[in-house]
Chain A
């Protein structure tokens, strides 16, 4: 099965969905996720139990177990440009089978792919993702599936809604229909098939950087 996971680094990841997939011991998973978590959090949990067969990501540093599995050949890894990753989600969400992007032209990312020149510049054809489940995390949501995200925890989450056969949204606060202002909804409920309020959010910080008060 192919799963999409929202989040950038550890920000905006569907913590509760990941914990449940870990508990259920779902294996042989192809993951579409910008990053691969860290050793003991996020998708790192699923990696430690060898539940992941293949990762499709743009950046996978900061995870020693990931690196070990990749170099030993246990884990298949496809690295793609971050903008291409986002757009392949968006294409799947919006019924566009493929698109052309300049990203990756002339690099190994373009190998085996159709290329075409538009306005004097080369582009690479990239295809929409096909996934079974999208697991996303929002700040607030209602029973109709409408979602509002917070800060940079938004990232890939809105692009993955409706980009898989079933979209599962977990939210910090689940409210009754009619509570959210329709003007402020980022993702309409039509893109979301399941919604629940997460039991708890640890929200780990990957790189704590602060400045001193004068």
Chain B
């Protein structure tokens, strides 16, 4: 039901503004780069040490010394720069990055996020996510509204180990765009063809619905 992962990325791309420095997490966030308007100027930062990240290289031009945080081969655009990891996180913690887009396993109504560990099942690590969520002013979470079994991932309280507390301001899922304010989710937009009632039943946390909720546009 609702949007595909590409469509979630496409909707989030509308939040990317001219002159922004943007950090994209692994998964759906990586797809956002494909949908950013080409009449604006945006620089993508990858925390392993590049600002001005470009698209994947042409076949045969891949360089093992040029990868992104997902360890994928990439290219550097004109004006790009390379730097070490400490400087990369100076950009992040120092709030020089304008927008951070990352995935999540769960978010809660007070803005907590969990995305690095499922006890007893999966422990991959937090990578740069804890630094990003602790410092970024402008964080958008890209995720599916429910898990494969249909249980809500938009919660009153996260059940998984936290990545950060009270940090998420906006969530874009396959069903809805929501903001988090004053300890609650607030419904801003719904995916085409999805009703408010369907969003409410897929949301376990407190969800404020006020007035007519418009359909998303892309």
Contact = CB atoms under 8 A, between A and B. Distances in A.
Interface of A: 8-12, 34, 57-62, 67, 70, 77, 79-87, 89-90, 101-109, 139, 149-159, 186, 203-213
A169 to B, nearest CB: 14
A203 B161 CA distance: 35
A98 to B, nearest CB: 16
Contacts of B46: 152
B67 A106 contact: no
A193 to B, nearest CB: 19
Q: Which 8 residue pairs of A and B lie closest in terms of their CB atoms, listed nearest first? A: A83-B89, A83-B131, A106-B165, A61-B124, A151-B65, A81-B130, A86-B85, A9-B71
B82 A105 contact: no
Contact of B49 (A8, A80, A105): A8
Contacts of B85: 8, 34, 82-83, 85-86, 89, 155-156, 159
Contact of A210 (B59, B84, B117, B126): B59
A201 to B, nearest CB: 9
Contacts of B59: 210-213
A107 B125 CA distance: 13
Contact of A107 (B86, B93, B130): B130
A140 B12 CA distance: 41
B67 A11 contact: yes
B88 interface: yes
B187 to A, nearest CB: 26
A209 B73 CA distance: 5
How many B residues are at the interface, by size bracket?
35 or more
Interface of B: 46-50, 55-74, 76, 82-86, 88-89, 92-93, 112, 116-117, 123-131, 134-135, 161-166
A101 B134 contact: yes
A159 B85 CA distance: 7
A10 B64 contact: yes
A106 B164 contact: yes
Given A106-B164, A108-B161, A155 B84 contact: yes
Most buried by B among A70, A80, A81, A207: A81
B84 A81 contact: no
A58 B71 contact: no
A88 to B, nearest CB: 10
A44 B76 CA distance: 29
B125 A79 contact: yes
Contacts of A107: 130, 161-165
Given A9-B71, A155-B84, A155-B85, A60 B123 contact: yes
Contacts of A11: 48, 64-65, 67, 71
B116 to A, nearest CB: 8
